[in-house]
Structure 1
Amino acid sequence: MKGIVLLVVTGLVGWWYFYSLPTALFLTTHSHLLLDRHGKLLSAHIAADGQWRFPEMDSVPDKFTTALIQFEDKRFQQHSGVDFLALARATYDNLSQQRVVSGASTLSMQVIRLSRSNPPRTLSEKVVELLRAWRLESRYSKDEILKLYASHAPFGGNVVGLEAAAWRYFARSPEQLSWAESALLAVLPNNPALIHPGRNRERLLSKRNRLLKQLFTRNLLSKLDYELAVAEPLPDAPHVLPRLAPHLLDTLAAQHPTGQRFRTTLDVNVQQQLNTLAQRTGEQLALEGVQNLAVLVLDNRTFEVVAYVGNRPDMDFSTDQGHAIDMIQRPRSTGSTLKPLLFADMLEQGLITPDSLVADVPVNYSGFTPQNYNRHYHGSVSAREALARSLNIPLVNLLSLRGVEPFLMQLRQLGFTHLTRSAQDYGLSLILGGGEASLWDLSVAYANLAQRASQDQQHQQTFWQQGRVLLTDKADSGRIATLSSAAAWLTVDALLDVARPGDDGYWEKFSSSRKVAWKTGTSYGQRDAWAIGTTPDYTVGVWVGNAAGEGRAGLTGTQSAAPILFNTFSLLPPNRGWFQRPDWQMSQVDICRDDGYLSNGSCVTKTLHLPLSSHFARITPYHQLIHLDASGQWRVTSDCESVANMQTRDWFVLPPDQASFYQQFHADYLPLPPWRADCQTSESGQQEALSVVYPQEGMQIYLPRELDGKLGQTIFRAVPSHQEALLYWHLDNQFIGTTQTFHQQAVQPSAGKHRLTVVDEAGNRVERAFEVLVTAESAGKRRISK
């Protein structure tokens, strides 16, 4: 019977011993840490229980290990959790003094005590610590036990763990601590209250120096190191932990609620410099009523985030100006920033060449009336120039040609996660800021454009890439790339010319010491200012505005965001070259020099490089063969002139509405010669002799109010085949006047629907139905972006 009882007892003891340690020793919450690519601390969040308790360390520095073992547990490497020599000494001392004067706790026993939240010191508790320390040593290695102790020991106040203590008291990582600092932290858990500034300074200094003397006596510290160490002063008040990327840490912490160590791809040096730039610029913008900004820097080769400024740095997050919001991740109206992606997509689809002319005249699409930012029309411009000058009307016309649905699919393929509505809902305004995107999505898209433009034949990427902010993230998005290197290169090349007309009508360009392909954007109502630039090495994205969405006069991509863009590039290493034209993915075609379409055999041509896969096949619509008489002054046909006396010419001819604006910017544009008088009645002469440029059929016109509250006027414009022709104008069948040479008519029609009729001397007539809007709310029909 006794044997059975003994066996049962032994089994129970064995079972208790085996299961005496929980699977996880510590169930406490931890701080969130943000580290740069080299492991340097960027930002930190305090743990949920109000303690600065960093996640468990990967290793314990040698200096601290040496100092700790010497102070707390000299035979740590020899015993198995319990130091019986120390236990015997402590028992003798305590019995002889009739009180507790020394302890015998090993580091293993202290880890057990820490894991049990420091229960009252009783004999039974000591026995539990002894037994569990043995069990601890059987499960963990000596290095692992040291890490447990260093990660959970108290270091005064709300500081727990060596790493948190190193940053709070010395503002650097444990690996960078001196001998004096390591010794101080080794003695501190024994009496954490000693660290309190202004109290116990001499006691703490004495304990530290005694430990340093022991290290020197045992030849663990050289004489020089010892003398330098004891000369070091104690730390003053605790340091504030770094706040170099607080918005990124907030974003990551929201995705991962449990405290952990985020090892990012950021570079602490670039991040610090960019914070300084953002703070200085933010203060200037705040004087103009603009409170928020964001800057993102991506490495185009690896898609790693180099710097991340989610909002104005060093701001009081308790204010109501949105400084705590990570604006890199917030969707905002895109302004003109999607235009390069449409340009690239249409090149890939073979719908345009960079030199293809696109109409830039007043246009109306079922009530949607886009306007250029400068309110000027150019008649026709090349697609490349339309992109460089960010002209809205030509880009709307291009999107109409491409189709909103296929372009929207392309944007989603590129990773624009916030474009969730239907193509019909967005409509053509999508290209002018009718949709929303985050700075993250836009910057990654431009980085993909640059990455594809820089590919060579041996290193082609099959998939679109996604940004990497954590070292564990993958760049490959898994989405098949649908844009060739050729189309990407042509787009980047066009972005080198980006500029916009200034208020005085001249071109204004940013000069920079480095080559940058860039694009600006300003959303409707001047609520968002964008600037995104790229080189073969880096993409920089900038957003400026107010988080609450209110607009500010003068807030534009060029004036507000572009200076930050170029100042950011000045912080980065210089370009290691430029994009090389991917001839291996291009074909050469002959196009008409003045309109960018394939030759019909009559125009003067030039050679152009196009994507090999584009199969561009549009024949020029603007070149026609005309017949002139022997003098070359009059157009004729075989009905009024013998073929032997006719000469044939190729003539560049734009539609009348486009030609009217085009010739204002191209002095060399020649209108068609007039018909000879005896050929006027021939059938071949019955071509369009009159065109109404404004208003277009079905257009909605907004009449603004002047400063005095009165309604303003609108100006109708017509183009006859002969500039000197006399035109008769009628509004709703009522005669309103005539024009000659300058065919513009200023009128102030009432609100509602109207019909304009214009008749020339030969009886040619053109009619246009339109509607007048006079309320301020109707201004929303006119989308303006740049």
Structure 2
Amino acid sequence: MRSLFAIAICLWVAAAARDGIDDWVDATVLPALAMDVSTEVRDRNGDLLRVYTNAQGRWRLPVDQTEVDPTYLRMLIRFEDKRFADHSGVDFIAAMRAAGQAIWHREVVSGGSTLTMQVARLLEDGSTGRWQGKLRQTRVAWALERHLSKDEILTLYLNHAPFGGNIEGVRAASYAYFDRPPRRLTPAQSALLIAIPQSPEARRPDRAPDAATYARDAVLNRLLADGFLDAATYESATRLAVPATRHLLPAYAPHLADRALAANPIQTRHDLTLDRRLQIALEDLAASAVGGRSDGVQIAIMVADHQSGHILASVGSAAYNANTRGGFIDLTQAVRSPGSTLKPMIYGLGFDQGLIHPETLIADRPTDFDGYKPQNFDGLFRGELRVRTALQHSLNIPAVAVTQELGPHHLIAGLRRAGTAPQVPGGAPGLAVALGGVGLTLHDLVALYGAIGNGGVAIDLRSHEAPTAGFVPQVVMNRAAAWQIGHVLEEAPRPRGVQATGIAFKTGTSYGHRDAWAIGFDGQHVVGVWMGRPDGTPVPGAFGGDLAAPVMFDAFGRIALQPTPLGPPPHETLLLSTAQLPQHLQFFGTRNAAIAHAPQIAFPPNGAVLDATFSTVKVQDGRAPYIWLVNGQPVARTHRNQVDIAALGFGFSSLTVIDADGQSDQAQIEIR
């Protein structure tokens, strides 16, 4: 009877102790489980573009198990807490083993903390040395196991584990030490990330590579002994050196990321439409474009999909730093003079309103527009020529003449329909807007050319997936006019050394060589490049065709191996020669061909077939001096009516003579 009584007493005491422990655990006040994470910016595929430290200045990138290499997770549990799936927060077998080893060796050989206990310590930032700390960890660990699933506990560890300095969590550590996301870890990298949190400052590979290597190899040794790793994997992993430096966390598209953060500072994840691969490629391109220059020239590049309106890359400057080039300034947003880049819009509106056609003849001669006397960039005049040629060679007088017919206000209204925000000096636009007398940003010009590439319909140019609230696409010009502009610009002369085809583009240079532009589009993408000084001072000798255009073509090459075709003309497009056009479209304005004494090419006559010895050209009538052009390029200027020109190559050539009044004559010849 006494023995039975004793057993009963023991059972009662055990039950009471159990109930007391249960009550003790249930009364546990858990630490806050919400994480103060870094704000991150991701691209269209979810890849990291930029990350900001959290409020405590720590790099803590939120991560879940699906974003981590599965082998790392299995290695972590096998090494740190092999009975993690079975215990209730405390592994008594591991604890007794650790105690026995400590007694036998008279020092701590292995720990008995479970992953749950480590999470408890990390959440409270507690110590592990004193028994009070261990007791608190045990209590919190039991409480965590009652409130959370095993997956939730493991996820807390992945986000809170310390990795030296201000790096917390396996995702931040993976980027900091290996410059890669944790889903791409190797066994050697996984072993290092398992070892560092046990003594994060002493095992930082960037400061203590020997200690880090020793700790990593100890993890690999244990996993080999446990049969988790095979010999080949072990040998390969131990031969690899640990990283000796700490990488900067990704900071791509910094200007656009800053804008996204400023627009919504509370949000901790911003998903942009950018393509990380393309963004990196264009940041490299921007750096190389200005890297060898000593004149303070800066650059900005934008790429967008004009079918969706998504911005795919945005480079605000060549380097995001406090340099003499104003690296912190987002120059995609800087208001500048667009130079000649508005000419496609001018002619497109002219096509749309039936004023002109690409084959319409238009005069390029000295003209006084009520006191405004623009000049061509080279100071020359080409006489009468087709509108397509005037646009391809960016002649000023024809563009101003069409603007006068349209009305400058209609040009500004068209720009606004395209989604741009033109800033007009004085508020009232004059004819100077045709040649860049208006303020626009690179963002504006990409939107404008995107609308032309999109069949004349404005695009919702944006860096976020959701359509912009309140955006209503407006028709900028009809689709036939848009196609004609693309077709004309696709055949524009390329810069020297550029062979790219299939891209419609236009360059521009603002007054005083302050801004060099190149904007182009194919059947899907639009690319804009600006180059100049951030403070707007002149850059002597800077031209859009020489400076910005090669960069633009290089950018297209980094988008895809081949451009997307522009597509066939809409069925309503008028595809006719000058002579076949309706009478009112054959000539723009008052034709001066009937003016007496207009110059005429006396030799060679139009349609002549000549041999290679031909070199002398003659003109009659007209007023000297005369300018001679071969295939649109000036070759001679003389007061005489006869001049020798350089030998022409075999094949067809076009001769043009222009007199002092801007009147001209042409002859087509063939050299055999």
Fold similarity call, TM over 0.5 = yes
Q: Does 1:526 align with 2:513?
A: yes
1:26 match: 35
Q: CA deviation at 1:49?
A: 4.0
C-alpha distance 237-378 of structure 1, shift in aligned 2 (>3 A): closer
For residues 296 and 207 of structure 2, the distance between their equivalents in structure 1, rounded to whole angstroms, comes to: 47
For residues 386 and 519 of structure 1, the distance between their equivalents in structure 2, rounded to whole angstroms, comes to: 12
C-alpha distance 41-585 of structure 1, shift in aligned 2 (>3 A): same
Quick one: which of 49, 63, 68 aligns to 2:76? 68
For residues 547 and 210 of structure 1, the distance between their equivalents in structure 2, rounded to whole angstroms, comes to: 54
For residues 667 and 423 of structure 1, the distance between their equivalents in structure 2, rounded to whole angstroms, comes to: 52
Q: Is the CA contact 1:36–1:267 (under 8 Å) kept in the aligned structure 2?
A: yes
Q: CA deviation at 1:164?
A: 2.1
Superimposed CA distance per residue, residues 563-592 of structure 1 (whole angstroms, 9 cap, x where no aligned partner): 22223333343436633333434357x786
Q: CA deviation at 1:341?
A: 1.7
Q: Would you tell me which structure has more strand in proportion to its own residues?
A: 1
1:384 match: 388
For residues 146 and 370 of structure 2, the distance between their equivalents in structure 1, rounded to whole angstroms, comes to: 79
For residues 603 and 482 of structure 2, the distance between their equivalents in structure 1, rounded to whole angstroms, comes to: 30
2:61 match: 54
C-alpha distance 226-245 of structure 1, shift in aligned 2 (>3 A): same
Q: Does 1:293 align with 2:312?
A: no
Q: Does 1:78 align with 2:81?
A: no
Quick one: which of 309, 312, 320 aligns to 2:318? 312
Partner secondary structure for residue 303 of structure 2: strand
Q: Is the CA contact 1:536–1:575 (under 8 Å) kept in the aligned structure 2?
A: no
Aligned residues: 590
C-alpha distance 353-134 of structure 1, shift in aligned 2 (>3 A): farther
Q: Is the CA contact 1:54–1:151 (under 8 Å) kept in the aligned structure 2?
A: yes
Partner secondary structure for residue 508 of structure 2: strand
For residues 59 and 111 of structure 2, the distance between their equivalents in structure 1, rounded to whole angstroms, comes to: 28
1:542 match: 529
Which of structures 1 and 2 has the bigger CA Rg?
Answer: 1
Task: Give the alignment of 1:522-601 within 5 angstroms.
Answer: 522-575=509-562, 578-586=565-573, 593=579, 598-599=582-583
For residues 602 and 288 of structure 2, the distance between their equivalents in structure 1, rounded to whole angstroms, comes to: 41
Q: Does 1:321 align with 2:325?
A: yes
Task: Give the alignment of 1:105-254 within 5 angstroms.
Answer: 105-118=113-126, 126=134, 128-137=136-145, 139-196=147-204, 203-242=211-250, 245-254=253-262
Superimposed CA distance per residue, residues 286-317 of structure 1 (whole angstroms, 9 cap, x where no aligned partner): 24x2420122233444444444433224x7x2
Partner secondary structure for residue 553 of structure 1: coil
Gapped regions of structure 1 (runs ≥ 5): 1-8, 454-462, 501-507, 600-616, 624-651, 670-741, 745-786
Q: CA deviation at 1:523?
A: 0.9
Q: Is the CA contact 1:537–1:575 (under 8 Å) kept in the aligned structure 2?
A: no
Q: Is the CA contact 1:360–1:380 (under 8 Å) kept in the aligned structure 2?
A: yes
1:512 match: 499
Superimposed CA distance per residue, residues 296-353 of structure 1 (whole angstroms, 9 cap, x where no aligned partner): 233444444444433224x7x2323212322223222111112112222232222322
The percent identity for this pair of structures is: 33
For residues 491 and 200 of structure 1, the distance between their equivalents in structure 2, rounded to whole angstroms, comes to: 62
Return the TM-score normalized by structure 2. 0.75
C-alpha distance 332-26 of structure 1, shift in aligned 2 (>3 A): same
Partner secondary structure for residue 531 of structure 2: strand
Return the TM-score normalized by structure 1. 0.65
Superimposed CA distance per residue, residues 253-311 of structure 1 (whole angstroms, 9 cap, x where no aligned partner): 44444584555554455444444443333134x24x24201222334444444444332
C-alpha distance 332-132 of structure 1, shift in aligned 2 (>3 A): farther
Task: Give the alignment of 1:632-651 within 5 angstroms.
Answer: none
For residues 324 and 114 of structure 1, the distance between their equivalents in structure 2, rounded to whole angstroms, comes to: 37
C-alpha distance 622-572 of structure 1, shift in aligned 2 (>3 A): closer
For residues 356 and 163 of structure 1, the distance between their equivalents in structure 2, rounded to whole angstroms, comes to: 62
C-alpha distance 127-402 of structure 1, shift in aligned 2 (>3 A): farther
1:706 match: none
Q: Which amino acid aligns with 2:301?
A: V
1:448 match: 451
C-alpha distance 743-408 of structure 1, shift in aligned 2 (>3 A): closer
Q: CA deviation at 1:520?
A: 0.4
1:700 match: none
For residues 322 and 37 of structure 1, the distance between their equivalents in structure 2, rounded to whole angstroms, comes to: 28
C-alpha distance 666-531 of structure 1, shift in aligned 2 (>3 A): farther
C-alpha distance 654-117 of structure 1, shift in aligned 2 (>3 A): farther
1:464 match: 458
C-alpha distance 435-131 of structure 1, shift in aligned 2 (>3 A): farther
Q: Is the CA contact 2:346–2:411 (under 8 Å) kept in the aligned structure 1?
A: yes
Q: Is the CA contact 1:109–1:133 (under 8 Å) kept in the aligned structure 2?
A: yes
Q: CA deviation at 1:364?
A: 4.6
For residues 405 and 369 of structure 1, the distance between their equivalents in structure 2, rounded to whole angstroms, comes to: 20
Task: Give the alignment of 1:706-725 within 5 angstroms.
Answer: none
Q: Does 1:479 align with 2:473?
A: yes
Superimposed CA distance per residue, residues 183-217 of structure 1 (whole angstroms, 9 cap, x where no aligned partner): 11112111102224597655543432232233223
Partner secondary structure for residue 501 of structure 2: coil
Q: Does 1:345 align with 2:332?
A: no
1:429 match: 432
For residues 524 and 597 of structure 2, the distance between their equivalents in structure 1, rounded to whole angstroms, comes to: 44
Instruction: Report which stretch shifted further, 433-442 or 566-575.
Output: 566-575
C-alpha distance 414-130 of structure 1, shift in aligned 2 (>3 A): farther
Instruction: Report which stretch shifted further, 577-586 or 545-554.
Output: 577-586
Q: Is the CA contact 1:159–1:165 (under 8 Å) kept in the aligned structure 2?
A: yes
Q: Is the CA contact 2:283–2:315 (under 8 Å) kept in the aligned structure 1?
A: yes
For residues 45 and 598 of structure 2, the distance between their equivalents in structure 1, rounded to whole angstroms, comes to: 58
For residues 398 and 84 of structure 1, the distance between their equivalents in structure 2, rounded to whole angstroms, comes to: 89
C-alpha distance 294-410 of structure 1, shift in aligned 2 (>3 A): same
Q: Which amino acid aligns with 2:485?
A: T
2:422 match: 419
Q: Which amino acid aligns with 2:428?
A: D
Q: Which amino acid aligns with 1:575?
A: Q
| CA RMSD in angstroms, aligned pairs only | 4.2
Q: CA deviation at 1:374?
A: 2.1
Q: CA deviation at 1:557?
A: 0.5
2:17 match: none
C-alpha distance 297-15 of structure 1, shift in aligned 2 (>3 A): same
Quick one: which of 436, 441, 448 aligns to 1:438? 441
Instruction: Report which stretch shifted further, 184-193 or 513-522.
Output: 513-522
Q: Does 1:491 align with 2:485?
A: yes
